[in-house]
């Protein structure tokens, strides 16, 4: 079992999406270096998705999480057979909803963490005069 938490994996996904966008400002996928860099980041996204808590991803059912994971497997094992058109379609069609869902999950986890902190430390609210 990995020691990384869902929050870190979600941040990894956001970072990878940001990196993909950055790579694409330097050129398009016809440039072999850009293509390889983007494939690596898609691989990272898929690996992070595979390790997320299934209950967490189930709360965003509109995203095809299993497709992201299987894309990682394809990229890792069929790198010579990877079509630029498929990578382009993945970037254009699949990354935006994935990123939106990940940002929603990050916000949900942050709210939950704050709520848990407040429940564990109710005295803090009283000390700040919020309990009056």
The separation between the first and the last C-alpha atoms of the chain, rounded to the nearest angstrom, is 45
Q: Which residue has the higher pLDDT, 74 or 27?
A: 27
Q: Is residue 124 part of a domain?
A: no
How many domains does the chain divide into?
A: 1
Q: Is residue 63 part of a domain?
A: yes
Q: Is residue 96 part of a domain?
A: yes
Is the C-alpha dihedral spanning 55, 2, 87, 19 positive or negative?
A: positive
Q: Is residue 123 part of a domain?
A: no
Domain that holds residue 81: 6-103
Name residue, tokens 């929603």.
104
Query: In the chain, how many H helices and how many E strands?
Result: 7, 0
Going by pLDDT thresholds of 50, 70 and 90, the confidence category of residue 1 is very low
Report pLDDT digits (tens) over 61-109.
Answer: 999 999 999 888 888 887 677 889 999 999 999 999 999 999 999 999 9
Q: Is residue 35 part of a domain?
A: yes
């Amino acid at each position: 079992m990995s020691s990384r938490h869902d929050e870190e994996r979600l941040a990894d996904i956001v970072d990878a999406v940001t990196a993909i966008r950055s790579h694409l400002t330097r050129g398009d996928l016809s440039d072999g270096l850009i293509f390889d860099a983007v494939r690596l980041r898609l691989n990272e996204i898929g690996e992070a998705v595979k390790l997320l808590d299934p209950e967490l991803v189930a709360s965003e059912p509109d995203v095809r999480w299993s497709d992201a994971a299987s894309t990682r497997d394809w990229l890792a094992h069929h790198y010579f057979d990877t079509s630029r058109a498929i990578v382009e379609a993945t970037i254009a069609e699949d990354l935006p909803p994935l990123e939106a869902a990940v940002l929603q999950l990050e916000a949900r986890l942050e709210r939950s963490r704050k709520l848990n902190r407040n429940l564990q430390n109710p005295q803090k609210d009283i000390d700040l005069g919020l309990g009056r």
